[in-house]
Structure 1
Amino acid sequence: MSAPLLTLDSLRSRFARQPESLIDVMDDIAARFAAFGSLSAPATLNAAARDLLARCPDPSILPLWGIPYVVGANVDVAGLPTSAGLPALDFEPDFDAVVIERLRTAGALLVGKVPVDPLGLDASADGAVATVAAGLAVFGIASDRTGAACAAAAEDGVVAIKPSPGRVDLDGLFAIAPELDEIVILATDIAGGTAVRRVVERIDPTIQRRTATFARLGLLGKGFFAVAREMAKRLDLATVVVDDALFVEVAALMADDAWLVLRLDDIAVPLVEMPELFPPYLHRRLSRALGCPSGDLLRVQRRLSDLRRRVEAAFAGFDLLFVPPESNLIGFLNACGLAAIALPDGGMLVAAQGGDDRLADAAAILADPSLSRSTRPIDILVSPPLAHR
């Protein structure tokens, strides 16, 4: 069962014509949750809509006025439990995460929090992806360490935008590996997801932003070039074949459980004293990490540092990288500090750190045939209850 997708542009147009329709939208979302067997609270959603109308009756004042969204349970929202997927570690924060503060200031309305994988190890964005894909929110905010969010989004026809590290403040995110975890924006379309990114990202003059025009598209993997070359024609870019061995090595390194050592201080006591609270597979992984020699973490950190330098050097040979969905190669994204957009029809575009805006422009061209720069346009092949605060 599915409901019509909610898009940022369609709701903006509706609210501009009739701001009071926000109440109807919130009631409709509550009904959608009920139809999906959820226990959402229509009265609470209705009250949130009425409160926004009273505080700011003009939708044009705020960029995300009335736009409904969900957030992963491991992101702090004052008044709601923060959960890493293990009840023993749940707590109720006193303050919102920075990303939530920015969304609230922009007028977005939080529909609720969605469950995450235990400690965010594997598929913590799945709940947010499913919610957006089911037409229950315009966008979702989730955490991601391995790049799995981009893969999950593509499978459900949802756009995933992974900003460059540093562009979105992570304060208030319960991160399993603080130096690797990032915020990912999940949306029904590229334009909507990009608009959300521009709201939540911080303005920091020290963050490098790449504005040069893209000229070369790197093609990653073997045997998947047909679609990628058509994309290059659409974007009017030259193509460069890229050996995937380096990226495969980074992805394999990211699967090393030595990274769990970064969070063991938070979970060592309940792991030892209350092992029954942990799923057996997770208990085994964490126990191994607990006994991991300190040198193992240093080893993977040093190796990753070396691989990052090699990936940065590789990007000197191209401006954009296309990762075909068939390659199933995603684990290098966060590790190498890259920006990425998972296309709703499959595949992923990747740019070097700071190339977020140009990356969004390229993705928009691929998503909208009318924006094609090429003279040869082509078709690209392409839960549990929520609680509003």
Structure 2
Amino acid sequence: MLPTFLDIATLSEGYRSGRFSPVDVIREVIARIEAWPDKAVWISRFDDAALIATAEALVAAGPARADQPLWGVPFAVKDNIDCAGLPTTAACPAFAYRPDADAFVVAKLKAAGALVVGKTNLDQFATGLNGTRSPYGAPRSVFDPAYISGGSSSGSAVAVASGQVAFALGTDTAGSGRIPAAFNNLVGVKPSRGMLSGTGLVPACRSLDCITVMAGTVGDADLVRSVASGCDAADPYSRALPPAVLPQSGFRFGVLAKAEREFFGDAETEALYNAAIGRLAMLGGVAVEIDYAPFRECAALLYGGPWVAERLAAIESFVADHADAMDPTVRTIVEGARGYSAVDAFRGQYQLETLRKRTDVEWARMDVLLLPTAPTTYTVEAMQSDPIRLNSNLGRYTNFVNLLDCSAIAVPAGFRSDGLPAGVTLVGPAFADRALAALGDRLHRLEAYGMGRDRETALPEASALPAAPSDLIPIVVVGAHLTGMPLNHQLTGAGGVHLKTCRTAGDYRLYALPNTTPPKPGLIREPGLAGDGLIVEVWALPPAAFGAFVNAIPAPLGVGKVTLDDGSEATGFLCEAHAIEGAREITALGGWRAYIAERAAAPA
């Protein structure tokens, strides 16, 4: 029996136990899509036979490998992100094309074992926060079809919240991955700009766009984010920076001062925001009222300033030839760009930097910012009768985030008396994604809201995140210190925290060192080598324990900077070059676990 909500942790446990297989899950996904009454969720999907064949091929290839944390997990892709085998429409049939390859992010998720189901509906050209601006229809809230699902990643949110897929990709320029999450009782991760490659994405505002993740739990969404992350030489906006740290207790969190609270008459959503403030204080935070005015003024720049011209830049030739094929509201917004000059663009940049200085004053008073994800919600009828003003209302607390280069995560905050959900968003500095996720997960788990439309099921403990290290030092381990290996206790016993499993950059070789007990590997860097990288784990230790741990490392091993597949660096185990003489090279196996498994399977 499959769960009502297809969360990653439960699916993975079901696969390991043999209770069901990816083929069973895909058959159920097909049945749920066909049974769901709202037919505006999907723009296209792979046919039933192809989906089943893909799942069967995955199973035939063997059980999940260490580099397949999403093995057998079905997901949806917003239809402004390329997926080979399906058209990309951006919700505009006249714009449609067939890509030759998957988007960079989609390819990474598939390599991790995830199964693409199809492409989901959106506000056309990702221009809107409400989900009603599409010729393919308006996906509705999973709680009340009279209400909007939120946009622009509308179909992605509904596909997850209704239990049709386990997670979905959206995009977020002004809030398009956070607002639909809030309106459908989901988690919405808006990664730092450049963390997820934009190659294969039809841009809205190319300099600001972020591919986002929606899922039922923070742990699931953060797992997908970490798998999808990585530097991409083909994307000039791709970047990797060291993770920003946030305190997990005694932290200061900014909240709206009374004068800046605007909920457009929605007293219940305001009450849910107040309750979230109380819960975050229960986690050890100290609420600090901040001046939201400079953030609000920054938010107004996104649609009321020259950045709207970037929306025209993305599709200028199409608009010139096919303006009549566009949604009228989207066309009005995009063609409004013609009223801005290059001079206006520079003035807008000057204004943004002035506002950034003012927001810096507020950031000095807080570690993280807690905001309502959206101040209220609207019916589809109301939104269609007043599309621009009401849409602007929705973005009051989201529009500034990418302009100010912040990371953000939206989590459920409870339900109004009419059964409609609301959400809150934690906002932090760029590349604080992991730390925000740890805090967001703790906040999410303080109250039982379920996942998506399934309000009864408790959040799986298997997807809970450990507290993010605020003063811990990361270390990359490659061999006997890996989880479950003989020396892993040296990390766990010293208060170590497992941060992630990933790969090194492609220019490392791995050797099995002779005459070591327990068996140990030697990691050597060879600049210029074009490999796939080696599977490693990143742990973090308290400073004192880190020093003692490093001091005890025996020769010929030592520590140095190890470059990971996302371009970041961390201290890790390396080997002196002389020690590999006569050692067996095991680079082709992809990691130490595969070598140990090979040894175990060899005849005695």
Q: TM-score, normalised by structure 2?
A: 0.57
Structure 1 segment 1-389 matched on structure 2, within 5 A: 4-18=4-18, 21-36=21-36, 41-58=47-64, 62-122=68-128, 123-202=151-230, 206-214=240-248, 215-222=251-258, 226-256=274-304, 258-265=306-313, 267-325=315-373, 327=375, 328-345=396-413, 346-369=423-446
CA distance in 2, matches of 1:266, 1:317: 38
CA distance in 2, matches of 1:263, 1:372: 37
Report the 3-state secondary structure (helix = DSSP H, G, I; strand = E; otherwise coil) of the residue aligned with 1:129. Answer: helix
Query: Displacement, 1:175?
Result: 0.8
- Do the aligned partners of residues 308 and 78 (structure 1) sit closer, same or farther apart at CA in structure 2, a change above 3 Å counting? farther
CA distance in 2, matches of 1:211, 1:54: 42
Higher radius of gyration, 1 or 2: 2
Q: Does the CA-based 8 Å contact 2:179-2:374 persist in structure 1? A: no
- Do the aligned partners of residues 28 and 332 (structure 1) sit closer, same or farther apart at CA in structure 2, a change above 3 Å counting? same
Is the deviation greater in 351-360 or in 200-209? 200-209
Query: Displacement, 1:167?
Result: 1.6
Query: Displacement, 1:206?
Result: 4.8
Q: Which residue of 1 aligns with 2:526?
A: none
CA distance in 2, matches of 1:124, 1:372: 28
1:150-178: CA deviations, max 9, x gaps? 12211110110111112211111111211
1:196-219: CA deviations, max 9, x gaps? 111111269950312242421111
CA distance in 2, matches of 1:141, 1:89: 21
Structure 2 counterpart of 1:357, which letter?
R
Structure 2 counterpart of 1:44, which letter?
A
Report the 3-state secondary structure (helix = DSSP H, G, I; strand = E; otherwise coil) of the residue aligned with 2:337. Answer: helix
Structure 1 counterpart of 2:406, which letter?
L
- Do the aligned partners of residues 175 and 221 (structure 1) sit closer, same or farther apart at CA in structure 2, a change above 3 Å counting? farther
Structure 2 counterpart of 1:106, which letter?
A
- Do the aligned partners of residues 58 and 276 (structure 1) sit closer, same or farther apart at CA in structure 2, a change above 3 Å counting? closer
- Do the aligned partners of residues 321 and 111 (structure 1) sit closer, same or farther apart at CA in structure 2, a change above 3 Å counting? same
Report the 3-state secondary structure (helix = DSSP H, G, I; strand = E; otherwise coil) of the residue aligned with 2:87. Answer: coil
- Do the aligned partners of residues 268 and 98 (structure 1) sit closer, same or farther apart at CA in structure 2, a change above 3 Å counting? closer
Is the deviation greater in 163-172 or in 245-254? 163-172
CA distance in 1, matches of 2:196, 2:374: 29
Q: Does the CA-based 8 Å contact 2:160-2:215 persist in structure 1? A: yes
Query: Displacement, 1:50?
Result: 0.3
Query: Displacement, 1:325?
Result: 4.6
Q: Does the CA-based 8 Å contact 1:235-1:372 persist in structure 2? A: no
Structure 1 counterpart of 2:369, which letter?
L
CA distance in 1, matches of 2:361, 2:221: 29
- Do the aligned partners of residues 310 and 227 (structure 1) sit closer, same or farther apart at CA in structure 2, a change above 3 Å counting? same
1:44-91: CA deviations, max 9, x gaps? 221111011122334665100011100111111122212222223222
CA distance in 2, matches of 1:255, 1:42: 41
- Do the aligned partners of residues 363 and 287 (structure 1) sit closer, same or farther apart at CA in structure 2, a change above 3 Å counting? closer
Query: How many residue pairs end up in the alignment?
Result: 371
Query: Displacement, 1:228?
Result: 4.3
Report the 3-state secondary structure (helix = DSSP H, G, I; strand = E; otherwise coil) of the residue aligned with 1:148. Answer: coil
Is the deviation greater in 146-155 or in 44-53? 146-155
CA distance in 2, matches of 1:267, 1:58: 41
Greater fraction helix: 1
CA distance in 1, matches of 2:274, 2:335: 45
- Do the aligned partners of residues 303 and 62 (structure 1) sit closer, same or farther apart at CA in structure 2, a change above 3 Å counting? same
Structure 1 counterpart of 2:281, which letter?
K
Is the deviation greater in 69-78 or in 281-290? 281-290
CA distance in 2, matches of 1:73, 1:213: 37
CA distance in 2, matches of 1:143, 1:206: 19
CA distance in 1, matches of 2:245, 2:313: 41
Query: Displacement, 1:317?
Result: 1.5
Report the 3-state secondary structure (helix = DSSP H, G, I; strand = E; otherwise coil) of the residue aligned with 2:355. Answer: helix
CA distance in 2, matches of 1:348, 1:194: 15
- Do the aligned partners of residues 93 and 312 (structure 1) sit closer, same or farther apart at CA in structure 2, a change above 3 Å counting? farther
Q: Which residue of 1 aligns with 2:532?
A: none
Q: Does the CA-based 8 Å contact 2:170-2:176 persist in structure 1? A: no
Is the deviation greater in 318-327 or in 205-214? 205-214
Higher relative contact order (CA 8 A, sep 6+): 1
Report the 3-state secondary structure (helix = DSSP H, G, I; strand = E; otherwise coil) of the residue aligned with 1:69. Answer: strand
- Do the aligned partners of residues 313 and 158 (structure 1) sit closer, same or farther apart at CA in structure 2, a change above 3 Å counting? same
- Do the aligned partners of residues 61 and 14 (structure 1) sit closer, same or farther apart at CA in structure 2, a change above 3 Å counting? farther
CA distance in 2, matches of 1:205, 1:300: 24
CA distance in 1, matches of 2:322, 2:276: 50
Structure 2 counterpart of 1:219, which letter?
V
Q: Does the CA-based 8 Å contact 2:206-2:314 persist in structure 1? A: no
Report the 3-state secondary structure (helix = DSSP H, G, I; strand = E; otherwise coil) of the residue aligned with 2:49. Answer: helix
Query: Displacement, 1:286?
Result: 3.1
Q: Does the CA-based 8 Å contact 1:258-1:296 persist in structure 2? A: yes
Q: Does the CA-based 8 Å contact 1:70-1:113 persist in structure 2? A: yes
Report the 3-state secondary structure (helix = DSSP H, G, I; strand = E; otherwise coil) of the residue aligned with 1:300. Answer: helix
Structure 1 counterpart of 2:125, which letter?
L
- Do the aligned partners of residues 289 and 148 (structure 1) sit closer, same or farther apart at CA in structure 2, a change above 3 Å counting? same
- Do the aligned partners of residues 314 and 191 (structure 1) sit closer, same or farther apart at CA in structure 2, a change above 3 Å counting? same
Q: Does the CA-based 8 Å contact 2:218-2:440 persist in structure 1? A: yes
1:14-52: CA deviations, max 9, x gaps? 011118621111100000011025586322221111011
Q: Which residue of 2 aligns with 1:386?
A: none
CA distance in 1, matches of 2:285, 2:368: 9
1:94-119: CA deviations, max 9, x gaps? 22111111101110000111122222
> Structure 1 stretches of 5 or more lacking a match?
374-389
Structure 2 counterpart of 1:116, which letter?
L
CA distance in 2, matches of 1:324, 1:10: 29
Q: Does the CA-based 8 Å contact 2:194-2:240 persist in structure 1? A: no
Q: TM-score, normalised by structure 1?
A: 0.87
> Structure 2 stretches of 5 or more lacking a match?
129-150, 232-237, 262-269, 376-395, 414-422, 447-460, 467-604
